[in-house]
Structure 1
Amino acid sequence: MNPARLARFHDCPRYFICPLCHAELNLAGTSLRCPNRHTFDIAKQGYVNLAPAAKQSQFYSKESFANRGRILNAGYYSHIASAVLAAVRTHCPANPRPAVLDAGCGEGFYARAVQQANPQADVLAFDISKDSVQQAAREDTSLAVRWFVGNLADLPLRDAAVDCILDVFSPVHYGEFGRVLRPGGIVVKVVPGARHDEQLRELASAHLRHTDYSNEQMVDQFARHFDVLDTRLVSQTFAMPPDDVRAFAHMTPLLFNVDIDALDLGQIHELTVEAQVLVGRNRADSTCAQQHGVAHVVAHEGEVEA
C-alpha cells in the first residue's frame, strides 16, 4: 500500500477508539488494532471501515454518489461550500492544529474543501455508506483526510476529540456530537432553505406527502443544544441543462420515493439551491451531560442531500 495512504493514520490514538470495545486504536501494519485485538484493515483506497456491520440504504448507491459528484463538481453548491468555509474560518476555536469532523461526508466534497483551505487542520470524515467513503478516499489527491465508515449513533472517536463538526444536509446525533466536541467547540450545520429544490418540488407535488417545506423544527432543535453564534441564508438559482437536471433528480432525497421516469423533467430549466448555515458553540457542560444521556437524532425529508 502507498505509505502516504497509511501515514494519515499514524497518530490514530489521538482520535480513534475501537467501535466494539471503545479501547484505544493504534496503527499496526496496514490495520488499526486495539489492545483486545479487534482489527480493522485500511483499504487500498486509504479509508478504514469502523462500522463493519452497518447496512447501507438502498437509496445511496454508487450511481447516486456519481450523480452527487457530477452536481457538486459542476459548481451548483459552491456558494454553500463558501459559506461553510467562512463559518469554519470565523468561528473554529484557535488551535494550531484544529480537528474538524465531517459527519455524513458523502463523497467528500466539503471535507476536501476544508482540508484544502486549512492544510494545517486534521480533517476526519465519515459516512455510513461504504460506497461513498470509497469514492471520497479515491478522489482525495491530498492523501490527508482521515476517511472512515462510521456509525453516527456510536462514533468511534475519543471524548472531546474535535474542535469543529460539519453537518451538511445530514442527520444529527446531538448526544454524540456533544461527547466528541471539545468544550467551546463548534458545529456548522447546513439545512435546506424553504426554496431549495422548489422547481422539482412543484413538478412532483402530486407524488409528495408535503408540497411545501420548513426547516423551523430543525433550527429550533439546534438552538436547544448549542449556543447559536451565527445563521446565514445562502441561495442561488441556476440555469441547468437537461442532463444535470436528471442527475439532480436522481440525487436528491426529495424524490427517493417518487418514480422519476413519470416526471416530465423537460419542464425544468433552472433549479434553486438554497441552504441555511447555522453555527453553534458547544456548551461547557454538554460533553458530560450528553455523554450518558438520551441521544437525540433529527432527520427530515430532504435534509440528507448533496
Structure 2
Amino acid sequence: MRDEHAERYHVGMNPAKIARFRDSERYFICPLCHDALHLDGTSLRCANRHTFDIAKQGYVNLSPSAKQSQFYNKESFANRGHILDAGYYDHIMRAVLEAVDNHCPAPHNVDFAGLRDAQCPAVLDAGCGEGFYARAVQDAHPEADVLAFDISKDSIRQAAHEDMGMAVKWFVGNLADLPVHDGTIDCILDVFSPIHYDEFRRVMKDDAVVIKVVPGAHHDEQLRELARAQLRNADYSNEQTIEQFATHFTIVDSQLISQTFAMSDDDVRTFAHMTPLLFNVDIDALDLTQINELTIEARIIVARK
C-alpha cells in the first residue's frame, strides 16, 4: 500500500521521470542489503522495505551518506556546463560516441519496444558529472539503457534537470560500492574520472568493454604553464595511469584526440574555475589575460574484461 507522502509526491511528477525506472530490478540493488530494487510508486524499494524516493528532477539517491568534495558544487558544475555547451569538448564527445559505436554496437533489426523488455544494451557512465556524455550516448542510441551516476548530488540534480529526453537512469552512487547487479553492464564510460577495478569487473558482462578517457600530456598546457609556480607537478603524464589500467583490462584500442581553441577572456576565466588542475591554486593571483587559446586533449582507451 502506497504511503500518504509517496501519494502526494506522485501527483505533480512527470510520469516520464518515473517511467525510466520501471525496470529497476534488472540493474539496481539496494545499497544497504544488496537485494533487488523495484519501482513502487515514486520510489525504489527492496524486499526489506528500504526505500529510495525518485526526486522531482528525475534521479534517485542510492548513496544517502555520500560526501561530495567542496570543489564539486553547484557553481563548479554550472561552469562545466557552460564550457561543454560552448563546444570545447565536442571532439572528445564524438570520439567517445565512435568508441561506443565500434565496440558496443546496438542490436540491429530489433523492435525497440521488444528490446526494452528483452536485451537492450546497458551503458554505465561512472562519475558522469553534469551528464554531458551520458546524454550524448542516449541521444545517439535511444535503444540503449543508459545508467549514469556521480558521488555529487549537485551534479546529478543538474544532469537530471537538463535531460530533456528523460530516459537516462540518473542516480547518486558510490564508486567503491556500486548499487548495480553483477554482470549486467555492456559498456562502462569512465571519462576523466577515478576507477574502481573490482567494482567495474563485477558489474560488467563477460564480453563488456570499458571506455576510459584520460587527459593528454598537452591538456590545459597554457593554464598549466601560467600556474607552474603554484603546481606540485607542472608537467603532466598519463603513462602511469594507463599502465595501471592495462594490468586490469585488455586494451583493444587507443587514440589521442587534441584540439586547440581560441577562447574569450570570459571563457578562459570560466574554464579556470572549473578545471581540477587549478583546484588548489590561487586563481586570482594568475593573469588569465595572458591566455587567448587553450588545448583540450585526451586519450580514449577501449579495453575488455
Q: How does 1:215-230 map to 2 (within 5 A)?
A: 215-230=238-253
Deviation of 1:161 (Å): 1.0
Distance 2:147 2:184 in 1: 11
Corresponding residue of 1:257: 280
Aligned mate of 2:68, from 51, 56, 78 = 56
Query: Is residue 45 of structure 2 the alignment partner of residue 22 of structure 1?
Result: no
The structure with the larger Rg is 2
1:119-172 CA distance string (max 9 Å, x none): 100000000000000000000000100000000000000000110000000000
Q: Which amino acid aligns with 2:261?
A: F
Query: Is residue 162 of structure 2 the alignment partner of residue 150 of structure 1?
Result: no
Query: Is residue 29 of structure 2 the alignment partner of residue 6 of structure 1?
Result: no
Distance 1:160 1:153 in 2: 16
Corresponding residue of 1:79: 91
Aligned mate of 1:140, from 163, 186, 203 = 163
Q: Which amino acid aligns with 1:107?
A: E
Deviation of 1:184 (Å): 1.0
Q: In structure 2, the residue corresponding to 1:159 is in which secondary structure?
A: coil
Corresponding residue of 2:195: 172
Distance 1:226 1:159 in 2: 17
Q: How does 1:185-196 map to 2 (within 5 A)?
A: 185-196=208-219
Answer whether contact 1:232 1:278 (CA < 8 A) is retained: yes
Corresponding residue of 1:37: 49
Aligned mate of 1:128, from 148, 151, 158 = 151
Deviation of 1:97 (Å): 1.6
Query: Is residue 264 of structure 2 the alignment partner of residue 241 of structure 1?
Result: yes
- Give me the identity figure in percent: 73
TM-score by length of 1: 0.91
Q: How does 1:205-216 map to 2 (within 5 A)?
A: 205-216=228-239
Distance 2:96 2:245 in 1: 17
Gap regions ≥5 residues in structure 2 = 1-12, 108-118
Deviation of 1:64 (Å): 0.2
Answer whether contact 2:106 2:141 (CA < 8 A) is retained: no
Answer whether contact 2:106 2:143 (CA < 8 A) is retained: no
TM-score by length of 2: 0.92
Distance 1:160 1:94 in 2: 18
Q: In structure 1, the residue corresponding to 2:68 is in which secondary structure?
A: coil
Structure 1 residues 144 and 94 mapped into 2: Cα distance closer, same or farther (>3 Å)? closer
Distance 2:189 2:28 in 1: 18
Q: Which amino acid aligns with 1:135?
A: Q
**RMSD (Å), alpha carbons:** 0.8
Gap regions ≥5 residues in structure 1 = 283-306
Distance 1:151 1:261 in 2: 33
Query: Is residue 174 of structure 2 the alignment partner of residue 162 of structure 1?
Result: no
